[in-house]
Amino acid sequence: MKKIVILFILVIVMTGCPWYGYKYNTGKFPDYPVNLSDVNSEYDDYNLTAPYIFYRNLFHFSSNRKSEGGTFDIIGEDLYIHWNKDQGTLSVGTGDFEETFDEYWFYERYGFLGQMFDSINTPFNELGPYSIGYRDEISYSKVLWTDLLMWATDEAGDYDIKYICAEMGYTSDTTVNTLTEVGTVPFLDLNANELYPSFYGEGFYCCDEWGLDIGKIESILFCSDQSGDYDIYEVALPSFNDWQDLFQTDPGTNPDALSLNSQANDKCPFVNGRLLVFASDREGGFGGYDLYYSLHDEEGWGSPKNFGEKINTEYDEYRPITIRLYDFENTLMIFSSDRPGGKGGFDLYYVGIRQSVT
């Protein structure tokens, strides 16, 4: 009998079958970029953000598809990222995914996003959306959800950073949506082109599926061409409880250019935890704009490193964002590129990067 039990255990180990649970508990994103074909069009699709809102990534990005190659609007898709723990396969796409998503319930709860897009899109260009969503559980049966969306528009001639907030309060039987007016951020206006805002704070993850703690926000990064070429700047922020108060109050500090800036264009900063990713056409790259990363420590932002030839090409790689998911062994990075093989213009791609750099 003892030999039979031992043989049974060996069979299980050799076949990779667990005693209980799933065979593939930990997911993995691909090592090489994959075209996000469900989203892309024959026009330019880039400048995305993907905040985590109640178990879903609400995918916002800039596209000129509606104008057939003219001006850019911000549009949205519902993005699912699903790791099949039985088969060890990854699915990334848009729309309904029946195992994790009740479509009617979702759009009833988050219909305010369509109202946000209607409020911010103009006949001019809207680029570089940055959105974070977080919830306050006021009581067991009452929840307040807030979504902050920032972007840049050239409505006034050069690009200025603006914002809008949506709040959704719901109980077990009532949903109330409110939307603020579009506002500007005076302390980010350097009388040039300012784009791509992103918050930094020790332990702050802008796409955190476990919920955001905005009390951890310490500063905001963005890029500007006030010096001629684009550089990345950072502004230290005071503690705050309300976005309107924060954006309309002088923080008392001037924007500081980061030491990692080069003599070329350094653009599209995006921060998650202590990881900063950005695009640059500096010397030493593979051609056009390449993607780089920098890690924050007690000294500040470290020397930037190129993501290498697995990700970068002789063409342009642009506006990266990162998303950490707890049951994956690596971190998801989504970016845009005009490399051959896409649907046309800039397409969105996704790839896995080492967890150790985050």
Please report, for the chain, the start and end positions of each structural domain, with discontinuous segments joined by +.
2-357
Residue 115 pLDDT greater than 50, yes or no: yes
Neighbours of 335 (CB within 10 A): 29
Nearest to 190 by CA among 164, 222, 224: 224
Residue 24 pLDDT greater than 70, yes or no: yes
Top CATH class, 2-357 = mainly beta
Which pLDDT does position 11 carry in this prediction? 44
Neighbours of 297 (CB within 10 A): 8
**Better-predicted residue by pLDDT, 208 or 259:** 259
Give the confidence band of 35 by pLDDT, cuts at 50, 70, 90. very high
d(CA 318, CA 338): 9
Residue listed under structure tokens 């009581």: 139
Which pLDDT does position 81 carry in this prediction? 83
Lowest mean pLDDT among 55-69, 93-107, 258-272: 93-107
Burial class (CB in 10 A: 0-12, 13-18, 19+), 9: exposed
Section 181-196 average pLDDT: 96
Cβ contact 221:234 at 8 Å: yes
Residue 118 pLDDT greater than 90, yes or no: no
Residue 293 pLDDT greater than 50, yes or no: yes
Give the confidence band of 178 by pLDDT, cuts at 50, 70, 90. confident
Which pLDDT does position 241 carry in this prediction? 81
Residue 14 pLDDT greater than 50, yes or no: no
- CA pseudo-torsion sign 338, 343, 345, 346: negative
**Better-predicted residue by pLDDT, 290 or 15:** 290
Residue 51 pLDDT greater than 80, yes or no: no
Section 309-328 average pLDDT: 93
Residue 34 pLDDT greater than 90, yes or no: yes
The pTM of this model reads 0.88
Which pLDDT does position 174 carry in this prediction? 64
Residue 149 pLDDT greater than 80, yes or no: yes
Supply the DSSP symbol for 294. Answer: E
Which pLDDT does position 8 carry in this prediction? 44
Cβ contact 63:43 at 8 Å: yes
Cβ contact 71:124 at 8 Å: yes
Dihedral, 75, 355, 315, 48 alpha carbons, nearest 10: 10
Tell me the Ramachandran region of residue 287: left when phi exceeds 0, alpha when psi lies from -120 to 50, beta otherwise. left
Which pLDDT does position 325 carry in this prediction? 82
Which pLDDT does position 281 carry in this prediction? 97
Nearest to 205 by CA among 259, 136, 134, 152: 134
Give the confidence band of 82 by pLDDT, cuts at 50, 70, 90. confident
Which pLDDT does position 1 carry in this prediction? 54
Cβ contact 236:218 at 8 Å: yes
Cβ contact 7:33 at 8 Å: no
Residue 291 pLDDT greater than 80, yes or no: yes
Residue listed under structure tokens 């899109």: 121
Lowest mean pLDDT among 11-25, 86-100, 205-219, 291-305: 11-25
User: Percent of the chain at pLDDT above 70?
Assistant: 80
Give the confidence band of 54 by pLDDT, cuts at 50, 70, 90. low
Give how far the C-alpha of residue 85 lies from the chain's centroid of Cα atoms, to the nearest Å: 25
**Better-predicted residue by pLDDT, 208 or 77:** 77
Lowest mean pLDDT among 72-86, 154-168, 307-321: 72-86
Residue 102 pLDDT greater than 60, yes or no: no
pLDDT, mean over the chain: 85
Give the confidence band of 100 by pLDDT, cuts at 50, 70, 90. very low
Which pLDDT does position 176 carry in this prediction? 63
Give the confidence band of 206 by pLDDT, cuts at 50, 70, 90. confident
Which pLDDT does position 56 carry in this prediction? 62
